[in-house]
Amino acid sequence: MDLVNKVYGGWRYLMDDLSDPRTNEWPLMSSPFPTIAISLTYAYCVKVLGPRLMENRKPFQLRKVLIVYNAIQVVFSAWLFYEACAAGWATHYSLRCQPVDYSQSPTALRMARGCWWYFFSKFTEFFDTFFFIMRKRYDQVSTLHVIHHGIMPASVWWGVKFTPGGHSSFFGLLNTFVHIIMYAYYMLAAMGPKVQKYLWWKKYLTVLQMIQFVLVMAHAFQLLFWNECNFPSAFAYFIGAHALMFYFLFSNFYKRAYAERKQPKEKVEKQQLVANGNLESEPNKNIEQHSSPMSAHYQSNGKSSFYQAVGKTVEESYSSTRHRVYVGAVNN
């Protein structure tokens, strides 16, 4: 019982005495558990409940909804970016080392409020996935996508609770800038084929996200060598490690989505045909040479006509599926 009391006492000391008193009473800031519960509910909904509810339903047509939603996200991200700049990063903040201003000054409170709204924006981004589910675009709900969206609210919560501003807010500055471009792309893509043909720069969104993570890592890990402003090192390391993890996840996605496409088209098509039984191998050729006219009527390349039809369907399905690509983040 003493151990339980000590653990609880330590937890209350962390939550009540070491946190920023300005944000303690703000929505969802008293404890991390509501945020964690919402994130877990999100993961369950998009991986289990959503597909189950849509199983016997036709995909929703959400073109107009997506245009409006992404336009709102562009405006929201632009406002967050502006607030981060106006409250510090375009005025008096230092890229080298920036402490948190815990005062009640208008500028300090403006930065703290901006950090909370950035935290809130991570919940609004859940709708990226909800719309995929409603449209039955399950191929877009990748592990990277769910991890990226699912852990961001809980990750940002700690920053708002203890360090709303200062050195760690650099991540939010870059992330909101990337989201302006990303959601602008999604908005244009939702407008249909007439606009989509101009979106040749799709893969560069993933590159931009990876550059973002590299800059965040460099900015955070520099405090390992020089922390002249006494910024809490644990938060800098946490943000740097977070960026490192997502860099490798997005890098792996980029390799699978784009680098593998550089294989010669003929080679890829041949591999697909062989895999689906629509391209004869040398043994099949020998069998055909010794087959009777009757068997030739029912077989081609060692496969029945029914099997060939199925193989062709599988090939077409495989080809179309392979060329579906989800950009980043993930909706980041």
- Residue 282 vs residue 81, higher pLDDT: 81
Q: In whole angstroms, what is the distance from residue 24 CA to residue 18 CA?
A: 11
Position 271 confidence tier, pLDDT thresholds 50, 70, 90: low
Give the residue-averaged pLDDT of 304-332: 39
Q: Which of 150-159, 262-271, 279-288 has the lowest mean pLDDT?
A: 279-288
Q: In whole angstroms, what is the distance from residue 187 CA to residue 65 CA?
A: 10
HSE on the CB side for 124, CA within 13 Å?
A: 15
Q: Which of 63, 326, 44, 99 lies closest to 233, judged by CA?
A: 99
Q: Read off the tokens for 328.
A: 């980043």
Which one of the listed residues 148, 149, 167, 242 is annotated catalytic? 148
Q: What is the pLDDT, as a whole number, of residue 259?
A: 66
Which residues have C-beta within 8 Å of that of residue 132, sequence separation ≥ 6? 46, 138, 140, 141
C-beta contacts of 129-133 below 8 A and 24+ residues apart: 129/42, 129/46, 129/331, 130/45, 130/46, 130/50, 131/62, 131/65, 131/66, 131/69, 132/46, 133/45, 133/46, 133/50, 133/51, 133/54
Q: Give the strand pairing for 303-304 and 299-300.
A: antiparallel
Q: In whole angstroms, what is the distance from residue 243 CA to residue 48 CA?
A: 28
How many helices (H) does the chain have, and how many strands (E)? 15, 2
Residue 179 a catalytic site member: no
Position 94 confidence tier, pLDDT thresholds 50, 70, 90: very high
Q: What is the pLDDT, as a whole number, of residue 171?
A: 94
Q: Which of 36, 48, 61, 70 lies closest to 331, judged by CA?
A: 70
- Residue 330 vs residue 215, higher pLDDT: 215
Position 202 confidence tier, pLDDT thresholds 50, 70, 90: confident
- Residue 262 vs residue 264, higher pLDDT: 262
C-beta atoms surrounding 43 within 10 Å: 16
Q: Read off the tokens for 126.
A: 């859940």
Q: Which of 159, 128, 149 lies closest to 38, judged by CA?
A: 149
Position 295 confidence tier, pLDDT thresholds 50, 70, 90: very low
Question: Is the pLDDT reported for residue 292 higher than 90?
Answer: no
The DSSP call for residue 303 is E
Question: Is the pLDDT reported for residue 159 higher than 90?
Answer: yes
Share of the chain above pLDDT 90, in %: 57
Give the residue-averaged pLDDT of 227-253: 85
